Every structure is written in C-alpha cells, then in structure tokens.
Amino acid sequence: MHHLSRPFWGCSTLKPTIPTLVTVFSRCLTTTQRRYATNDTLPNNNARPGSNRRAVTIANDDGRVRWSELSVGEKAARTTQQSFNLGIIALGVVMTGGVAYFLFTDVFSLDSKTSHFNRAVKRIREDPRCLEILGDSKTIRAFGEASWNRWTRNRHIASTVSKDKMGVDHMLMHFNVEGPRNHGVVHMHMIKRPQDEWQYRYLYLDVQQQPRIWLENADKDHNDQRASGKMFGVRWW
C-alpha cells in the first residue's frame, strides 16, 4: 500500500500549465472586448452634436425623428424636402388635369373635333352619291394628310378653329377618304354663334374627274330661299 501514497508522476507537469492557459484566455478576451469597444466608439461625422443619432438632412430624412427634437438646420432641411415633394405632387395633378381636359375637349366632348370628324365620315358612308363613286361603305377609310407610306396615313386631321369680329366661331376641316373605287378629299366648314350650336356652312366631297358632291351648302340654301321669296320658312313676297 506504500505505492498508493505516492503522488502521481504526471501531476507535477499539469500544475504549471493551468495558470498559463487561464492567462492566455483572459488576454484574448480582453483584446476582443477592446476591439469591439473601439468599433462602437468610432466618431460619427453625421451625428448631431450632443446626441447619439445621425443628423437629419434632405437626403436621409425619413420622418422618424420628431419635429421637436430637430435643430434649426434640420427643420429647414425637412421643410425643404416636404416642399419639394408637394411641388412634385402639384405638378403631377396639373399635368393630369391638362391631359384630361385635352381628351375631353378634343375626343370625348360632343363638340370636339374628333366628334365632328366622325359625324362627317358617317355622312359620307351613308350618302348614296358618295358610295357610287367611292365604293362599299364598309371599306371606306378616312385619314389625315395624304402620304405614300401606308403606316403614316393615320395622321392628325387638319383643322382650325377661329372667332370672327361678331363672336362667331368657325371650324375648318379637311381630310381624305378612300374606297375600293376612288379616293377624294372632304371639306367642311362649321359655324357656332353665341348661345347656339354648331351648324354646317358647307360639307362636300371632291373626287378627281367627278362632279363635286354637296352634302351641306348653307349659302346655296340661303340663295334658294331668297329666290323663292322665303326667309326662315316665311314667304316675304
């Protein structure tokens, strides 16, 4: 039993190494803590003096910081940013309103140029004299200025609107029509007196080597009434 009282031969070699490992581990932990502390305490160039948050500018303002917490310069930055945003919104509203007004006055309104053009084309397609010269009404096409390029035939219809000295509005328009037999040019003149609706002054179709086809001719009707002694449906002599 004498051999059991002896110390184990390897124990003497472990005692010097335990303090060494603890010392190395402590140094590594201290170095890591210092490193993180150094990264967290880096100076923030955008930080507001006397505060840990970043300074609010026009570029980075997201509205999270309360108005009462802003400095004078930051309040000016937020006001500038909001004013710019409101200006963009107002510009968009104005542009949208302008587009809507243009579409209504030139396309959807009953007194728009497009509406008068569509009604004139309908008159051409329903007139037997025009169909005899142009051909089948289902194949008659109407388009703007003539062009050799088939892809550019759907051009803007040539038209003008003006007002004379008497306050009467005048609309002048001409466009091309084409059928399987011939093609021609339609001329239209409409007038609109104050507190009145648009009325035809004339509407006719010209086809080369064919007599002019009148669909409306207010001057001729006026002269015929004068010749027959009638004015406004009343016989004066």
From the list 135, 177, 181, 175, the residue with the least C-alpha distance to 159 is 175
How sure is the predictor about 38, in pLDDT bands with cuts at 50, 70 and 90? very low
- Please calculate the CA angle 46-52-58 and round it to the nearest 5 degrees: 35
Question: Which tops the pLDDT comparison, 226 or 132?
Answer: 132
From the list 179, 174, 185, the residue with the least C-alpha distance to 138 is 179
Question: Which tops the pLDDT comparison, 232 or 170?
Answer: 170
Q: What is the pLDDT of residue 99?
A: 79
Are residues 214 and 191 in contact, defined by beta-carbon separation less than 8 angstroms? Answer: no
How sure is the predictor about 230, in pLDDT bands with cuts at 50, 70 and 90? low
The CATH number of 135-230 is 3.10.450.320
| Neighbour-count burial of 224, counting CB atoms closer than 10 A to its CB (0-12 exposed, 13-18 middle, 19+ buried) | exposed
Q: What is the pLDDT of residue 222?
A: 61
How sure is the predictor about 164, in pLDDT bands with cuts at 50, 70 and 90? very high
Rounded-to-integer distance, Cα 208 and Cα 152, Å: 23
Neighbours of 32 (CB within 10 A): 10
Q: What is the pLDDT of residue 5?
A: 46
The domain spans of the chain are 135-230
| Mean of per-residue pLDDT scores for the chain | 77
Distance of CA 133 to the CA centre of its chain: 43
pLDDT tens for residues 115-149?
A: 999 999 999 999 999 999 999 999 999 998 766 66
Distance of CA 181 to the CA centre of its chain: 41
Q: Has residue 220 got a pLDDT over 60? A: yes
